[in-house]
Chains A and B, each alone.
Chain A
Amino acid sequence: AAGVIQSPRHLIKEKRETATLKCYPIPRHDTVYWYQQGPGQDPQFLISFYEKMQSDKGSIPDRFSAQQFSDYHSELNMSSLELGDSALYFCASSFSGHNYEQYFGPGTRLTVT
């Protein structure tokens, strides 16, 4: 079965640079979620989109922005990167008709040096 695809899987950036993470949801899923997991931490909700509209917002820094496109893939844009942004970023997707089950991608490991 198709799963959530995230790219890239690993990313190394320097402080103050920008990064773009991509997420391709499971086919026919219309809702995308982004989570950030710091080292040794639990995943923290950042933001979600339903039918290309932002549906909920968590602890996402103002330096980050995200959107969902017409093909339902989503991108998380991160600017002015800080050392503390180093983390594993997960994307999850779900189908609105079955909105309780979120399926997670493998994550993008971002390292800021």
Chain B
Amino acid sequence: AQSVTQPDIHITVSEGASLELRCNYSYGATPYLFWYVQSPGQGLQLLLKYFSGDTLVQGIKGFEAEFKRSQSSFNLRKPSVHWSDAAEYFCAVGGFTGGGNKLTFGTGTQLKVEL
């Protein structure tokens, strides 16, 4: 069964500082990996995705993530955080399971940005 671990429940960074959110996955084949962001009471917005090819993927809002197969990781990074980045971030793994492409989410990382 596929699973995702986000070891950091809460992270606080200062505005302008760099950010790295960790994500480890478990999946039997080549995974499809995603990062979503959710503001309070809002829906899930896709930040970026990895299917194959270049292991460093660029997303919206200046985010990037690197797929490392050897470490089963897909960490999200941003060089300089803005106050508007405060939100909850979910890493997710998807893959065909014989009938669909359901996403399995991690438990999320709540990002707080200090001004």
Contact = CB atoms under 8 A, between A and B. Distances in A.
A8 to B, nearest CB: 15
Contact of A56 (B36, B99, B105, B107): B99
B103 A102 contact: yes
B97 A42 contact: no
A42 B44 contact: no
A111 B44 CA distance: 20
Contacts of B36: 104
Main secondary structure of the interface of A (DSSP, over half): strand
A107 interface: yes
A101 interface: yes
Interface in B18-51: 32, 36, 41-46, 49, 51
A33 interface: yes
B90 interface: yes
Interface residues of A, number: 26
Interface residues on B, range: 20 to 34
A42 B34 CA distance: 14
B101 interface: yes
B101 A99 contact: yes
B25 to A, nearest CB: 14
A64 interface: no
Contact of B100 (A50, A105, A109): A50
Interface in B44-67: 44-46, 49, 51
A48 interface: yes
B43 A105 contact: yes
Nearest to B43: A106
Interface of A: 31, 33, 35, 41-45, 48, 50, 55-56, 58, 90, 92, 94, 99-107, 109
11 contacts: A42-B90, A42-B105, A43-B105, A45-B102, A50-B100, A55-B99, A101-B46, A101-B49, A102-B94, A104-B43, A104-B46
